[in-house]
């Protein structure tokens, strides 16, 4: 990035661990300002000097808190001329039952179903709509993180999680259609089994059946997210890219 070019800005949810953490590293390496959002306060052991100033503590399960976060983000974007180059909706939750097994469509309590949809599905559209003007000003890009569980029954992912991700994939198409005329691209990435804390015991058996015979790395997912937010993908919108070692074939 040259000195004359304005610094690009990413708003990223769920930055504190896993795929989100790898995404912060990838974009920071390319010189982007990364505004991170999660429930935890900024971790002081984190090496990014701008971290605490660019971190927003928000509970995406609480719609009022999401609205508050949108106002806070818009405020912080004013120093960048009100421009937002990318929004990555990465935060996601996948609750299990008390024995640690998947919650199916018969036993999922309704409050669980509601909170999963709020975090995994409603928060992404609330953020994208709330930051629409800033995204349009930068001709920016939105990436929604879906899942392989959105397109097939998964042995460990619960029904609320799977249906929220299927809805998010559908929302990605709708948004691509609605946001496209404003110059904003909207895509999704659908990870399979990535080496993070979200994985369940038994995943090793599942991985043995995958064409690539290994877990994915968070850095590999971050690289695809970066591609979708860069000029290299300037004609790509409304896509959902599988990152799963061939699990979908
Ligand atoms: N790992 C996989 O194999 C895999 C596969 C398919 C899809 N995915 C998807 O990829 C995304 C990232 O997964 P991951 O494995 O990296 O997840 P993770 O390690 O469990 O991290 C989840 C992130 O979301 C944040 N988060 C959770 N609830 C939140 C809330 N209510 N408000 C704000 N932030 C919240 C967490 O931060 P705080 O705890 O600080 O709030 C954390 O940073 C998710 O959407 C997941 O569904 C992952």
Higher-scoring residue by pLDDT: 42, 200: 200
- Kindly state the tokens that stand for 199: 């994985």
- pLDDT above 90 covers a percentage of the chain that reads 88
- What values do phi and psi take at 151, rounded to 5? -120, 0
Ligand 1 atom with the smallest distance to the CA of 59 is 32
Residue-wise pLDDT for 14-68, tens only, equals 998 999 999 999 999 999 999 999 998 877 777 666 667 799 999 999 999 999 9
Neighbours of 1 (CB within 10 A): 10
Residue of 14, 66, 164 best suited for mutating to test ligand 1, as the one with most atoms within 8 Å of CB:
14
3-state helix, strand, coil in the chain (%, to 5): 45, 15, 40
- Kindly state the tokens that stand for 108: 């999922």
On whether the CB atoms of residues 25 and 100 are closer than 8 A, the answer is no
The H or E element containing residue 191 is strand 185-191
| Whether domain 9-243 has CATH 3.10.180.10 | no
Q: What is the CA(92)–ligand 1 centre distance, in A?
A: 4
Q: What is the CA(145)–ligand 1 centre distance, in A?
A: 9
Per-residue model confidence (pLDDT) at position 152? 96
Q: For the chain, give the mean pLDDT.
A: 94
Per-residue model confidence (pLDDT) at position 221? 98
User: How far is 16 from 1, CA to CA, in rounded Å?
Assistant: 26
Query: Which residues are known to be catalytic?
Result: 161
Helix (H, G, I), strand (E, B) or coil at 38: strand
Residue-wise pLDDT for 55-103, tens only, equals 999 999 999 999 999 999 999 999 889 999 999 999 999 999 999 999 9
Residue of 36, 87, 147, 198 best suited for mutating to test ligand 1, as the one with most atoms within 8 Å of CB:
198
Using the Cα atoms of residue 97, residue 188, residue 121 and residue 60 in order, give the sign of their dihedral. Answer: positive
Q: Which of 198, 244, 13 is nearest to 96 (CA)?
A: 198
What's 91's DSSP letter?
Answer: -
Instruction: Give the confidence band of 8 by pLDDT, cuts at 50, 70, 90.
Output: very high
Residue-wise pLDDT for 160-191, tens only, equals 999 999 999 999 999 999 999 999 999 999 99
- Kindly state the tokens that stand for 185: 């691209």
Q: Which residue has the tokens 């890009």?
A: 141
Residue 80: which residues within 8 A CB-CB, separation 6 or more? 6, 7, 9, 33
User: How far is 78 from 125, CA to CA, in rounded Å?
Assistant: 21
User: How far is 28 from 202, CA to CA, in rounded Å?
Assistant: 34
Q: In what order do the strands lie in the sheet with 9-13?
A: 55-57, 33-38, 9-13, 86-89, 141-145, 185-191, 240-243
Give the pocket of ligand 1 (CB within 6 Å): 13-20, 38-40, 58-61, 90-93, 119, 145, 147, 191, 193-194, 196-199
């Amino acid at each position: 990035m040259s000195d004359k070019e304005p610094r690009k800005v990413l708003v990223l949810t769920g930055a504190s661990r896993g795929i989100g953490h790898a995404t912060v590293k990838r974009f920071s390496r390319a010189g982007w300002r990364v505004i991170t959002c999660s429930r935890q306060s900024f971790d002081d052991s984190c090496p990014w000097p701008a971290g605490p100033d660019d971190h927003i503590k928000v509970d995406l399960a609480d719609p009022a808190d999401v609205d508050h976060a949108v106002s806070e983000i818009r405020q912080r974007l004013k120093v960048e001329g009100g421009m937002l180059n990318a929004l990555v909706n990465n935060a996601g939750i996948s609750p299990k039952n008390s024995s640690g097994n998947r919650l199916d469509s018969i036993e999922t309590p309704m409050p669980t179903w509601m909170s999963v949809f709020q975090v995994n599905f409603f928060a992404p559209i609330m953020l994208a709509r709330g930051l629409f003007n800033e995204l349009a000003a930068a001709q920016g890009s939105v990436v929604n993180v879906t899942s392989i569980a959105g397109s097939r029954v998964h042995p460990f992912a619960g029904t609320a999680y799977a249906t929220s991700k299927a809805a998010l994939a559908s929302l990605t198409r709708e948004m691509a259609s609605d946001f496209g005329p404003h110059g904003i691209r909207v895509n999704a990435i659908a990870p399979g089994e990535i080496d993070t804390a979200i994985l369940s015991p038994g995943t090793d058996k599942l991985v043995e059946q995958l064409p690539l015979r290994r877990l994915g790395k968070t850095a590999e997912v971050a690289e695809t997210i970066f591609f979708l937010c860069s000029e290299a993908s300037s004609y790509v919108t409304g896509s959902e890219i599988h990152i799963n070692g061939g699990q979908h074939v």
